[in-house]
Structure 1
Amino acid sequence: MEMCTAQGHLVGMLDRDQRTAKLCCFDRLCAVFVKKYENLPEQTARTRRNKTISHRSVPGRTSPHSSCKTRKNGHFWKSLHRLKHALIVGAYLSLLTFPSTSSAPTIQKSMSSRETAEPKWLNPCGMGGVNGAAPGHGIPDAQLINMIVRQAHIAEAKAKTFKEEFAEKKFNTNVAQLKLYYAPHDYEWLPTTKIPKKLDGAVDPEHLKSLEFKPTLLEVYVSLQKIAVGVEQMVWDEEDRNGPLKSSLIETENYLGSLLCEIHTAIIEKELTVEETVTRDIMKEELRKNLDNTGRNIRDWIIYRDYLNMLQYIIQVFDHFKANLPSSD
């Protein structure tokens, strides 16, 4: 026999369908209630019989308690039926207030699916290889450099156009003012603090002379991946709010991915190994969530400013490599 708790739940109820378990218990409570009280009129009548035997021993006299007993019996059963109906209705109402046990995991999965997906910057050329390139094909350095510089110019042209739209729609000002206001602000996880260049400025010639082609390929590749972490969050936020810059930011992410693919092609061609794996963890939670509009806009400007600055850096550095290639290459 199944047991119920004092609150009307079956023992082991968590292992059963809540609806059938609760209704079962309410029916059992009603049955117990009926069983407990169904003999009460008979016992009361027997007690009365002992006390009123003299009245019923007189022929023709009707017991003064008989009509009262009939009325009480009718009232008792009506009350009992009303109680049972109330308990059943209460059971159904309580089921309506139960939270869905399957909805919470589904919502959680939806919220975290994009955060657990593989970042685009880890495989920028997709599953089909890197633009047909494979190690040992012997693509000349000049051609690899041209591929990188061409794609960097495409991305920079888009970024220059978008920065004006960004300043106007996010801050209701112009880029010159943003550059001035937020020049001292940087994020240490972004790479721009490690290169000797500011937005729209020139790279120090001495720095250019110190660079070598292969190590620079790896350095700019990882630097762009770190910037891609911030751009991805910008896209997510704009998508969530259906903001006015959503399409422009998605385009920015695509142009960045194309440049990463070109650099990755050169890395594979030169048979280099990327030692550092860039993950989303470099961008802390306080920069991702619980920001007001002003804080989010400032964060996005710093990320976008450093992205544009890195594009300019790559163009100047790889133009330098191209200009200094051996004549035989």
Structure 2
Amino acid sequence: MTGTLRKEDIISDLEHNLPNDKPMLNDHQLLTMEAILTRDQRTTSHRVRKSRSAELQTDSQAPMEVRLENIGKSDNISGKMTAGVDAPTNSKNIGSGYFPSTSSSHMRNRSSKRIRGYSGYPAGFTITWLRLGSLLVTLLVASIHGAPMMTSEQKRLNSPRKWVNPCGIGSDVFSGSLDVIQLKDKDLLDQIVVQADVALMHAQLLGEEFTRATFNTDFEDLHSLWKDTHYDWLPSLTAIPKKLREPLKKEFLDKLDLDTALLDAYEYMQMFAVALEQVVWDRENLEFHKEFEAAEYKLRTVLCELQMAREERKVPPRPDVSRSLMLPEYREMSKSDTFRDLRDWLIFRDYMNGLEYVMQVFKHLGKNLDS
């Protein structure tokens, strides 16, 4: 029903909302309130529906979270935050003389409706998506912090193996999709011998310096003392039937096949690469680290030449050697300086013997190609 807001109704509502322990309004209070309401009626030009006043009361009593949610979904919230949050209208405030004017209530009601009008989603839509987003972020953080941390040694053991595809050859190089100049077998073998010779000369110099600085003796003296000591996980005497500074027997050389020799030499050099990698790791902050790192690089160059020759001849490769070849008991020798130094020396000595093997084998096969 449409009509003006009567002062009798407001006074009646005020008395009705007073707490039970408050006395009824006396005549003087009624007269004072009547004067205030008469003044308000003269100064305001708004006519308010009772239904809108009831809606305003409902909005002001709504939970703060829901109304703030509606404000958050508005595209135009600048300057309207205060319009969306009404002052409390409990009986205590009314009893103390607080009562919003008709014009300010009307402004808040219009602002609230305007803000709600911009929302194109149901009331719980934003909260649902916020909860889902928070859940996803929580799960992501938990998965990161819950993953076991890897030690530096574990990170190294899971790093790419430098002896696998040492040339970095793409699959298109020998597939026929690119124009690649094919080298003769003799040229391929000569390149292997040259790179093995370069690596051996560097290894001989390093071996002498390392032996003298570490064991305070000459390389030959230490070699004669440990000549029969050998790690069984490195190429055996059956695979490489010689010791350092010894030649391969003619009977062995005459039985060689070029493709098999390429596969054998590549596998043996990969085995030495596994061991030499650990030597470089253990000497990261020690003397001769850079020199052993250079030796590792030169070994990779030899492996690259063997790989190129194998690919040129279309020889199917064997599986690459794994780091599991070197067991933890040999890797953990780095905890003792004495055992680590002797381990490194034995590995490096046998690596030098392997380079001699590569040079002798492919020199012999190259001579046979000439004849």
2:291 is aligned with 1:272: no
* TM-fit CA distance, 1:312: 0.7
Question: What residue is the counterpart of 1:254 in the other structure?
Answer: 297
Q: Could you tell me how far apart the structure 1 residues matched to 2:175 and 2:218 are?
A: 45
Distance 1:172 1:223, change over 3 A: same
2:222 is aligned with 1:159: no
* TM-fit CA distance, 1:276: 2.9
Residues 134 and 269 of structure 1 are in contact (CA less than 8 Å); yes or no, is this contact kept in structure 2? no
Question: What residue is the counterpart of 1:243 in the other structure?
Answer: 286
Question: What residue is the counterpart of 1:169 in the other structure?
Answer: 213
TM-score by length of 2: 0.56
* TM-fit CA distance, 1:134: 6.7
Question: What residue is the counterpart of 2:92 in the other structure?
Answer: none
Q: Could you tell me how far apart the structure 2 residues matched to 1:157 and 1:133 are?
A: 32
Aligned with 2:340 (options 282, 285, 296):
296
Q: Could you tell me how far apart the structure 2 residues matched to 1:109 and 1:297 are?
A: 23
Q: Could you tell me how far apart the structure 1 residues matched to 2:152 and 2:240 are?
A: 39
1:170-249 matched pairs, under 5 angstroms: 170-193=214-237, 194-239=239-284, 242-249=285-292
* TM-fit CA distance, 1:120: 0.5
What SS does the aligned partner of 2:332 have?
A: coil
Distance 1:287 1:104, change over 3 A: farther
Question: What residue is the counterpart of 2:164 in the other structure?
Answer: 122
What SS does the aligned partner of 1:191 have?
A: coil
What SS does the aligned partner of 2:223 have?
A: helix
Percent of paired sites with the same residue: 36
Q: Could you tell me how far apart the structure 2 residues matched to 1:314 and 1:224 are?
A: 9
* TM-fit CA distance, 1:111: 4.0
Distance 1:198 1:267, change over 3 A: same
* TM-fit CA distance, 1:138: 3.5
Question: What residue is the counterpart of 1:113 in the other structure?
Answer: 155
Q: Could you tell me how far apart the structure 1 residues matched to 2:328 and 2:153 are?
A: 15
* TM-fit CA distance, 1:201: 0.8
Q: Deviations over 1:99-134 (max 9, x none)?
A: xx988968525442221012100121125679x777
2:341 is aligned with 1:282: no
Q: Could you tell me how far apart the structure 2 residues matched to 1:133 and 1:281 are?
A: 30
Instruction: Identify which of structures 1 and 2 has the higher relative contact order when contacts are C-alpha pairs closer than 8 Å and 6+ apart.
Output: 1
Q: Could you tell me how far apart the structure 1 residues matched to 2:146 and 2:219 are?
A: 44
Distance 1:134 1:265, change over 3 A: farther
Question: What residue is the counterpart of 2:54 in the other structure?
Answer: none
Distance 1:102 1:137, change over 3 A: closer
Question: What residue is the counterpart of 1:320 in the other structure?
Answer: 364
Q: Could you tell me how far apart the structure 1 residues matched to 2:145 and 2:208 are?
A: 43
* TM-fit CA distance, 1:322: 1.2
Aligned with 1:143 (options 172, 187, 199):
187
Distance 1:320 1:301, change over 3 A: same
Q: Could you tell me how far apart the structure 2 residues matched to 1:221 and 1:182 are?
A: 26
Residues 164 and 174 of structure 1 are in contact (CA less than 8 Å); yes or no, is this contact kept in structure 2? yes
Q: Could you tell me how far apart the structure 1 residues matched to 2:343 and 2:215 are?
A: 12
Distance 1:129 1:192, change over 3 A: farther
Aligned residues: 224
Residues 166 and 245 of structure 1 are in contact (CA less than 8 Å); yes or no, is this contact kept in structure 2? yes
Look at both structures and tell me which one has the larger radius of gyration over its CA atoms: 2
What SS does the aligned partner of 2:210 have?
A: helix
Q: Which amino acid aligns with 1:320?
A: H
Residues 162 and 248 of structure 1 are in contact (CA less than 8 Å); yes or no, is this contact kept in structure 2? yes
Q: Could you tell me how far apart the structure 2 residues matched to 1:102 and 1:211 are?
A: 55
RMSD: 2.4
Q: Could you tell me how far apart the structure 2 residues matched to 1:302 and 1:179 are?
A: 9
Q: Deviations over 1:144-182 (max 9, x none)?
A: 011101101110110111110110122111111111111
Q: Could you tell me how far apart the structure 2 residues matched to 1:238 and 1:103 are?
A: 32
Q: Could you tell me how far apart the structure 2 residues matched to 1:252 and 1:233 are?
A: 13
* TM-fit CA distance, 1:253: 0.3
Question: What residue is the counterpart of 1:36 in the other structure?
Answer: none
Question: What residue is the counterpart of 1:309 in the other structure?
Answer: 353
Distance 1:104 1:229, change over 3 A: farther
Question: What residue is the counterpart of 1:72 in the other structure?
Answer: none
Q: Deviations over 1:201-225 (max 9, x none)?
A: 1111111111111100000000000
Q: Could you tell me how far apart the structure 2 residues matched to 1:274 and 1:214 are?
A: 10
What SS does the aligned partner of 1:324 have?
A: helix
Q: Which amino acid aligns with 1:230?
A: A
